[in-house]
Amino acid sequence: MKTYGGASPAERTAKRRAALCEAALDLLAEGGWERVTVRGVCVRAKLNDRYFYESFRDPESLLLTVREQVTAQAFAVVGTAIADTEPDPEVRVRAVIEALVGFFTEDPRRGHVLVQSQATEELRKARQVSIRAMARLVADQGAAMLGAQAPPEQDRELAALTLVHGTLELFASWLRGELDVTREHLVDFLVAMVHTTEELAAALRRQRR
């Protein structure tokens, strides 16, 4: 296999792909998904147009890849927060929420991926898949932490979906600057909302006895 500058063809392709994704993140943050065009991304990445089509079909496929990467990173952040904290609901919930808020604010471009996640039909579909996956994680964590006190699976799923949908919309509004609250206030509110959802599920369990 020939190398150029010490890199194999596959390594060079991966490097160009990463540069295009970084360029898309920049443009998404600067002007929304409409700015993510083949020409715009290639100019920002300082690459010829042919290198775009080496990795992506069109701008939407690039945006889907960027969204997939950010989503995977967010799930990894959640996993680390769970692994690093004791299975106490108060401690773990706060750790996860603080970790996620930190993830999306330490690199503001990631927040724009969240805000722009419904810009196209394919992005909306991808968003629903990730919401379902996050809701499943939340439901499973609820069952693990609450044990015998956990509500039935169906109620856990409903509560988790309500929580994830509501949190995403609230957080996106905050990132857009539509809510005049501090980061600390937002975290406190989200932690309280999780526990309120847990109490709702427990109330449903009691009603069915």
CATH number at residue 128: 1.10.357.10
Contact 7, 15 (CB under 8 A): yes
Decide if pLDDT at 3 tops 80: no
The pLDDT, as a whole number, for residue 153 is 81
The pLDDT, as a whole number, for residue 1 is 47
Instruction: Report the distance separating Cα 16 and Cα 161, nearest Å.
Output: 37
Give residue-wise pLDDT tens across range 77-90: 999 999 999 888 88
Residues 16 and 116 in one domain: no
Residues 10 and 89 in one domain: no
E strand or H helix at 176 = none
Contact 133, 72 (CB under 8 A): no
Q: Where in the sequence is the domain holding 90, given as residue range(s)?
A: 59-207
Q: pTM for this one?
A: 0.87
Among the residue ranges 3-7, 146-150, 192-196, the one predicted with the least confidence is 3-7
Give residue-wise pLDDT tens across range 92-104: 999 999 999 999 9
Task: Indicate the Cα dihedral angle 83, 89, 91, 97, nearest 10°.
Answer: 80
In this prediction, residue 145 has a pLDDT band, given cuts at 50, 70 and 90, of: confident
Residues 200 and 142 in one domain: yes
pLDDT-above-90 percentage for the chain: 67
Residues 164 and 108 in one domain: yes
Single residue among 37, 56, 75 that ends a domain in this structure? 56
Instruction: Report the distance separating Cα 112 and Cα 110, nearest Å.
Output: 5
Domains held by the chain: number: 2
The mean pLDDT of 33-57, rounded to a whole number, is 95
Domain CATH code at residue 52 = 1.10.10
Residues 43 and 75 in one domain: no
For tokens 């856990």, the residue is 156
In this prediction, residue 6 has a pLDDT band, given cuts at 50, 70 and 90, of: low
